[in-house]
């Protein structure tokens, strides 16, 4: 299991606590510290007695941290989540089951992914429905191939070996979308498993409009980078619509006190502390 992390001391402990208490234990858990300036590495090292291994990647960027983690891993299935993902106790077992051969064709997937919901805001069912649509169904409609969700995905070791040299490292792109594009071009199979759900933080949605736009513009940029003009135009249009729709959601996120379910008006006037990481 690979967890790229950059300045994630506030959420990493919960993530690792969930990973080390799985009903089917993970063979290995690797935290890739990507030049964090806070206590990220210290938080991760506190779990070393539970089998967590900390490696450091000095090249800045999620793609470099992800690649370092996949390269370091020794298992047959290489799982990857974000530092603010809090998987349920059955997640590792379900992930292993998701790589079973298809009952009709007998083929195994090369990669597996699933949806998410937001654990630190109300209306979780609505968040799950929105995530299914915007992250998975809409991207498949735009591009013609499955999407990978960086907070909830896994590749077989052979799949990573084949795709490793094809992935891009340009700044400003979505590394999970880039990976999905190259898997499709290589003819590798991505299996979407709706039951493989994980809760993630909605902190990005609570950011300012400028910060949210700065993050979301990587969506059409990634498609343009790969010459997928139709998908890029569609993503750009959806980005503009999404900014309008997400603004009221942003206010709700900022009002909501994470983890305890309360609303706090004072939070609305605080500067957002959202940090960069992939979200739908």
> How far is the C-alpha of 233 from the C-alpha of 169, rounded, in Å?
22
Superfamily of domain 2-269: Spore Coat Polysaccharide Biosynthesis Protein SpsA; Chain A (3.90.550.10)
- Residues 98/109, Cβ–Cβ less than 8 Å: yes
Residues (pLDDT < 70) of the chain are 206-207, 246-280
Please give the pLDDT value at position 175.
96
For residue 273, the model assigns a pLDDT of: 42
pLDDT the model gives residue 203: 79
What is the model's pLDDT at position 253?
A: 64
Residue 237 CB-half CA count within 13 A: 8
> Any residues with CB less than 8 A from the CB of 273 and at least 6 apart, and which?
203
Nearest CA to 228 out of 61, 236, 172 is that of 236
Question: What is the C-alpha R_g of the chain?
Answer: 18
pLDDT digits (tens, 9 = 90+) for 192-232: 999 999 999 887 776 677 888 888 999 999 999 999 999 99
Q: What is the pLDDT of residue 255?
A: 63
pLDDT score of 250: 65
Question: Minimal CA–CA distance to 63: which of 39, 88, 75, 80?
Answer: 80
Domain-wise residue ranges, the chain: 2-269
Can you say whether the dihedral through the CA atoms of 88, 72, 169, 166 is positive or negative? Answer: negative
- DSSP letter string, 38-75: SSHHHHHHTTGGGTEEEEE--S-SHHHHHHHHHHH--S
The confidence score (pLDDT) of residue 211 equals 82
Question: Cα(99)–Cα(110) distance, rounded to whole angstroms?
Answer: 8
Burial category of 262 from C-beta neighbours within 10 Å (exposed 0-12, middle 13-18, buried 19 and up): exposed
Q: How many CB atoms lie within 10 A of CB 27?
A: 15
Give pLDDT, residue 252: 64
pLDDT digits (tens, 9 = 90+) for 239-258: 888 777 766 666 666 665 45
């Amino acid at each position: 299991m690979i967890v790229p992390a950059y300045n994630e001391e506030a959420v990493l402990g919960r993530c690792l606590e969930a990973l080390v208490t799985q009903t089917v234990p993970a063979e290995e858990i690797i935290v890739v510290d990507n030049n964090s300036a806070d206590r990220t590495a210290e938080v991760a090292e506190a779990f070393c007695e539970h089998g967590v291994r900390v490696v450091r990647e000095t090249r800045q960027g999620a793609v470099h941290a992800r690649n370092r983690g996949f390269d370091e891993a020794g298992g047959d299935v290489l799982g990857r989540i974000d530092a603010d993902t809090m998987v349920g106790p059955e997640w590792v077992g379900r992930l292993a089951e998701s790589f079973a051969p298809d009952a009709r064709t007998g083929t195994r997937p090369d990669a597996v992914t699933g949806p998410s919901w937001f654990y630190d805001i109300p209306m979780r069912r609505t968040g799950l429905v929105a995530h299914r649509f915007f992250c998975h169904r809409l991207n498949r409609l735009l591009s013609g191939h499955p999407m990978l969700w960086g907070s909830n995905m896994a590749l077989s070791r052979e799949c990573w070996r084949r795709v490793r040299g094809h992935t891009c490292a340009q700044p400003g792109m979505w590394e999970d979308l880039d990976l999905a594009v190259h898997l499709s071009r290589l003819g590798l199979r991505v299996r979407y498993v709706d039951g493989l759900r994980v809760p993630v933080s909605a902190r990005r949605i609570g950011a300012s409009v400028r910060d949210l736009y700065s993050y979301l513009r990587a969506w059409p940029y990634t498609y343009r980078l790969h010459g997928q003009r139709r998908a890029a135009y569609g993503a750009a249009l959806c980005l503009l619509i999404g900014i309008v729709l997400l603004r009221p959601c942003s206010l709700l996120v900022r009002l909501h006190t994470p983890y305890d379910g309360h609303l706090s008006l004072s939070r609305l006037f605080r500067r957002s502390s959202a940090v960069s990481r992939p979200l739908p």
